[in-house]
């Protein structure tokens, strides 16, 4: 089980029925109702996709200044440098702005830092190099908001700077000609969640003027969509418009490099959703920056030569495979380090090594945050200086955390959920101590429990069809604030389990009543899943259409699986029977006979219980615990016998037992001498045929 806590939505039946009566399909109605969209009018409004951006880019603070300075540079034939970032957002932002400036006849220079050699953000060496090449104006995209020193340096060289960014601001803004960032405290722009490429797009629309907005948006929305999805921005407001339109335009885009990448990734001619962008295209573009070759991705997106595009697309995919191998190695090493950490150093994982690839540590930080349910800080060391990447967990604000340790850092930047920093090696131990204290202080010492948000349980398995799954696409694009719909199948039975993909993945067949479902669990082994044929389980999953050898079938893409917390009909009847016995409720003669148990059956259950509790108390979900106890006790009616035995052992003072919701807490109670089980009032009522007392 990956997630300790499943938060399963419970849409009102009446809301689902109302939406269905208006013509919305079962699954779509269920998700809409679960997300608070409870009537047909609200559903129509929610599903409506606007075709254009309606907020004027001139609403952004300093946009007028930025436009005036850039247009003056174009008119005067100045050399304009575009300074980007090495992630997908930065690369798409750079290509977008470069393409527009070149279309205006401007002489342009492109600069994307090399992640390893240059690090994040602006650098004085890079600025000096651009000035030496004749640049008199530098425009930053997806970076620069914290580069106060570097902007001052550019000014000292006679180079003007226009900053466009979307990251959090420090108290003092750079001394630039214009600073365009929706996060400026004094920026009145209503939508604050644009990606860097969204801000760059807004700049281009402002430069082109109102008359050209539609044409420019049509050309550049695809690049902006890729960057927005890759940067995991909130999928609402203008981002939803950008990504919706970008996805629709993707098959027809003028950027031949995108077509080449789609072909190399096996997506050419297929329907592209935000899922394919996030999990197929983005990692390939991102791999270039992570492996120190961001210009390769920018070259791909800029080129107009189809043959060159195919060559660059192949190179990107090769880099991505190399990145995956490096990532696995670093992750294994990091886990070994974590196992040696003191308990007080596990509220925030601060790890470092000279052997790690600087471009990949950020991905590993994400994996570790998810695995250990806490913020992670991965530091690549070289010559006594560390370049760190950190990832949040449970909404923890990384930017504020780094600000609290600013005196230990050489510099930092980013936002709440992901950030980068530079630190001297001798400060790492102090940073680890202080960051762990900060996390404990801000979380009250209680780290968030990994939780899985599930829209709703599947209550009508027979209605889950390929056609129903296709209707869910009306909810696209998915992202933060509008996640991909997740469902749960409660009380399913595992029919088959099979390892696939050289043992890396798991293929299952699940059944619920007369319905059968194929399922795939990526990057999980049979041992990790902890399931076997015949088990009763709860499964959490996405629904997808799976095409194999020309045939398309429905498939559950598992997110998590656990022993079922939902009783079967027989289990529910058994628990109700024991409840009525304990509460002295009415029992028929047949039910009393059904409850009857021998001394040996109690003894077998006691021995199994002792084995479980030998190491201390057990804190588990009630139903899975009872099933496991029953399996070890064996015999007919073993679930009923186990439930009855726990009630008897508790009444006799042999165990301490508490139940809160689905959770059971159980421990042995020290007892002197013999315990007379037949004296238990429950057993007396059953009039069992016992031969005297029984010591347990």
List, for residues 419-473, the tens digit of each pLDDT value.
989 999 999 999 999 999 999 998 876 666 668 999 999 999 999 999 999 999 9
Q: Which residue has the tokens 């079922």?
A: 564
Q: Which residues contact 674 (CB under 8 A, 6 or more apart)?
A: 693, 695
Q: Confirm whether 57-209 and 341-451 share one CATH topology.
A: no
Banded pLDDT at 694 (limits 50, 70, 90)? very low
Residue 224 has pLDDT above 60, yes or no: yes
Banded pLDDT at 688 (limits 50, 70, 90)? low
C-alpha 540/C-alpha 5 separation (Å) is 12
C-alpha 309/C-alpha 257 separation (Å) is 5
CATH fold of 341-451 reads Diaminopimelate Epimerase; Chain A, domain 1 (3.10.310)
User: Please, how many CA atoms are within 13 Å of residue 569, restricted to the half-sphere of its CB?
Assistant: 2
- Length of the chain in residues, anyone? 696
* Across 627-640, average pLDDT: 81
C-alpha 145/C-alpha 122 separation (Å) is 10
Q: Picking from 356-365, 391-400, 444-453, which range would have the lowest pLDDT averaged per residue?
A: 444-453
Banded pLDDT at 692 (limits 50, 70, 90)? very low
Residue 502 has pLDDT above 90, yes or no: no
pLDDT of res. 337 = 95
* Across 48-53, average pLDDT: 87
pLDDT of res. 693 = 43
Q: Which residue has the tokens 């347990």?
A: 696
pLDDT of res. 198 = 98
Banded pLDDT at 1 (limits 50, 70, 90)? low
Mean pLDDT of the chain: 92
Residue 212 has pLDDT above 70, yes or no: yes
pTM above 0.95, yes or no: no
The CATH number for 5-35+455-563, chosen from 2.60.40.2310, 2.40.50.460, 3.40.80.10, 3.10.20.740, is: 2.40.50.460
Q: Picking from 64-73, 510-519, 591-600, which range would have the lowest pLDDT averaged per residue?
A: 591-600
Banded pLDDT at 635 (limits 50, 70, 90)? low
Q: Which residues contact 314 (CB under 8 A, 6 or more apart)?
A: 264
Percent of the chain with pLDDT over 90: 73
Cis peptide before 477 (omega within 30 of 0): yes
Strand partners, 498: 507
The CA distances from residue 434 to 176, 347, 428, in Å, are 34, 11, 10
Angle between helices 569-582 and 638-651 (to 10 degrees): 30
Domain boundaries, the chain: 5-35+455-563, 57-209, 341-451, 569-686
- Write out the two tokens for 567: 């009783």
C-alpha 512/C-alpha 528 separation (Å) is 23
* Across 194-221, average pLDDT: 97
pLDDT of res. 170 = 84
Banded pLDDT at 696 (limits 50, 70, 90)? very low
Banded pLDDT at 379 (limits 50, 70, 90)? very high
Residue 397 has pLDDT above 60, yes or no: yes
- Write out the two tokens for 627: 């099933």
Largest CA distance in the chain: 107
Q: Number of helices (H) and strands (E), helices first, in the chain?
A: 26, 21
C-alpha 104/C-alpha 73 separation (Å) is 11
For the stretch 642-652, pLDDT in tens is 999 999 999 99
For the stretch 568-582, pLDDT in tens is 999 999 999 999 999
At residue 108's C-alpha, the angle toward residues 206 and 256, to 5°, is 80
CATH architecture of 569-686: Orthogonal Bundle (1.10)
Residue 257 has pLDDT above 80, yes or no: yes
Percent of the chain with pLDDT over 70: 97
- Write out the two tokens for 494: 């595992």
pLDDT of res. 611 = 85
Domain 57-209 in CATH 3.40.50.12280:
no
Residue 584, helix vs strand vs coil:
coil
Q: Which H or E element spans position 222?
A: helix 213-230
């Amino acid at each position: 089980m990956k997630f300790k806590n499943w938060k399963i939505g419970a849409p009102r039946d009446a809301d689902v029925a109302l939406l269905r009566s208006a013509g919305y399909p079962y699954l779509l109605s269920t998700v809409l109702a679960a997300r608070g969209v409870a009537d047909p009018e609200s559903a129509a409004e929610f599903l409506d996709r606007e075709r254009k951006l309606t907020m004027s880019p001139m609403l952004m603070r300093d946009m007028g200044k930025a436009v005036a300075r850039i247009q003056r540079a174009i008119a005067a034939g100045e050399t304009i440098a575009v300074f980007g970032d090495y992630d997908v957002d930065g690369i798409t932002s750079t290509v977008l702005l470069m393409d527009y400036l070149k279309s205006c006849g401007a002489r342009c220079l492109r600069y994307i830092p090399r992640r390893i050699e240059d690090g994040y953000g602006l650098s004085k060496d890079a600025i000096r190099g651009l000035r030496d090449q004749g640049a008199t104006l530098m425009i930053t995209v997806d970076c620069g908001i914290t580069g106060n020193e570097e902007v001052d340096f550019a000014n000292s060289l006679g180079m003007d700077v226009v900053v466009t960014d979307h990251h959090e601001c420090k108290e003092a803004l750079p001394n630039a000609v214009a600073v365009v960032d929706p996060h400026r405290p004094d920026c009145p722009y209503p939508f604050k969640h644009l990606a860097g490429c969204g801000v760059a797009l807004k700049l281009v629309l402002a430069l082109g003027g109102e008359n050209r907005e539609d044409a420019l948006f049509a050309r550049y929305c695809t690049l902006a969509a890729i960057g927005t999805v890759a940067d995991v921005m909130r999928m609402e407001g203008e981002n939803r418009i950008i990504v919706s339109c970008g996805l629709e335009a993707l098959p027809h885009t003028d950027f031949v490099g995108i077509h080449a990448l789609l072909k190399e990734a096996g997506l050419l001619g297929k329907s592209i959703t935000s899922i394919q962008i996030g999990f197929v295209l983005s990692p390939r573009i991102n791999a270039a920056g992570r492996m120190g070759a961001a210009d390769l991705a920018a070259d791909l997106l800029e080129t107009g030569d189809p043959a060159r595009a195919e060559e660059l697309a192949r190179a990107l995919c090769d880099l991505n495979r190399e990145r995956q191998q490096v990532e696995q190695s670093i992750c294994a090493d990091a886990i070994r380090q974590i196992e040696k950490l003191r308990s007080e150093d596990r509220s925030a994982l601060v790890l470092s090594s000279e052997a790690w690839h600087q471009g990949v540590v950020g991905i590993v930080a994400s994996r570790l945050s998810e695995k250990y349910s806490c913020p992670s800080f991965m530091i690549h060391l070289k010559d006594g200086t560390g370049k760190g990447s950190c990832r949040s967990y449970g909404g923890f604000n990384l930017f504020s955390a780094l600000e609290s340790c600013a005196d230990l850092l050489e510099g930092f930047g980013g936002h709440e959920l992901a950030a980068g920093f530079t630190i001297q090696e001798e400060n790492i131990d102090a940073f680890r101590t202080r960051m762990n204290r900060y996390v404990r202080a801000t979380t009250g010492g209680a780290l968030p429990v990994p939780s899985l948000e599930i829209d709703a349980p599947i209550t009508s398995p027979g209605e889950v069809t390929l056609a129903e799954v296709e209707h869910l696409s009306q909810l696209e694009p998915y992202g933060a604030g509008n996640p991909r719909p997740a469902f749960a199948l409660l009380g399913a039975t595992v029919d088959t389990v099979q390892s696939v993909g050289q043992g890396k993945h798991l293929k299952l067949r699940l059944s619920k009543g007369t319905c059968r479902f194929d399922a795939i669990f990526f990057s999980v082994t049979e041992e990790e899943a902890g399931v076997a044929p015949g088990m009763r389980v709860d499964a959490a999953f996405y629904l997808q259409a799976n095409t194999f050898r020309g045939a398309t079938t429905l498939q559950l893409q598992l997110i998590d699986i656990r022993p079922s917390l939902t009783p079967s009909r027989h289990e529910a009847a058994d628990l109700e029977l024991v409840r009525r016995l304990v509460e002295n409720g009415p029992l028929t003669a047949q039910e009393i006979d059904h409850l009857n148990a021998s001394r040996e059956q109690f003894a077998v259950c006691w021995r199994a219980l002792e084995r479980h509790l030998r190491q201390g108390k057990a804190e588990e979900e009630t139903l899975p615990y009872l099933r496991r106890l029953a399996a070890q006790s064996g015999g007919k009616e073993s679930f009923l016998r186990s439930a009855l035995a726990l009630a008897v052992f508790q009444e006799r003072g042999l165990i301490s037992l508490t139940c809160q919701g689905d959770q059971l807490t159980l421990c042995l109670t020290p007892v002197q001498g013999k315990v007379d089980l037949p004296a238990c009032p429950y057993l007396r009522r059953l009039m069992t045929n016992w031969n005297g007392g029984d010591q347990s």
